[in-house]
Copies of this chain bind each other. A is one copy, B any other.
Amino acid sequence: MKAVILAHEQFPDRAKTALGVLRYGDHDVVAVLDRDRAGDRVADHVRDVQDAPVVASMADAPDADVLIIGIAPIGGGFEESWRPDVRAALESGMDVVSGLHHFLADDDEFVALAAEHGGEIDDVRRPPADLGVADGVASDVTAEVVLTVGTDCSVGKMTVTEELARAARDRGVDAAVVPTGQTGIMIEGWGTCVDRVVSDFTAGAVEDMILEVGDDHDVLFVEGQGSIAHPAYSAVTCGILHGAQPDSLVLCHAAGRDRVHGYEEYALPDPETYVDLYESLAAPVHEASVVAGALNTVNVDGDGDARGAVADYETALDAPAGDLVRFADDRERVLEAVL
Contacts and interface: CB of A to CB of B under 8 A. Distances in A.
Interface of A: 133-136, 194-204, 228-239, 241-243, 245, 260, 263, 265-269, 273, 276-277, 280-281, 283-285
Closest 8 CB pairs of A and B: A235-B239, A136-B231, A229-B284, A202-B235, A238-B238, A134-B232, A195-B200, A199-B199
A306 B218 CA distance: 50
B136 A233 contact: no
Contact of A280 (B230, B280, B283): B280
B234 A242 contact: yes
Contact of A236 (B196, B229, B235, B269): B235
Most B CB contacts (10 A, CB to CB) among A200, A201, A276 go to A200
Given A204-B232, A231-B242, A231-B245, 18 more contacts: A133-B233, A134-B231, A136-B260, A196-B199, A199-B199, A200-B232, A200-B236, A202-B236, A203-B231, A203-B235, A228-B281, A229-B281, A229-B284, A234-B281, A237-B238, A238-B239, A277-B280, A277-B284
A273 B233 CA distance: 24
A283 B270 CA distance: 12
A141 B302 CA distance: 46
Nearest to A230: B242
A267 B287 CA distance: 13
Contacts of A199: 194-199, 201-202, 235-236, 239
Given A196-B199, A233-B133, A281 B285 contact: no
Nearest to A76: B200
A196 B203 contact: no
A229 B285 contact: yes
28 contacts: A133-B232, A133-B233, A136-B231, A136-B263, A195-B198, A195-B199, A198-B198, A198-B199, A199-B199, A199-B201, A200-B232, A200-B235, A203-B231, A203-B232, A203-B234, A203-B235, A228-B238, A230-B242, A230-B285, A231-B245, A232-B242, A234-B239, A234-B281, A238-B239, A266-B285, A277-B280, A277-B281, A281-B281
A265 B234 contact: no
Nearest to A274: B284
B229 A235 contact: no
Contacts of A202: 199, 235-236
A228 B282 CA distance: 10
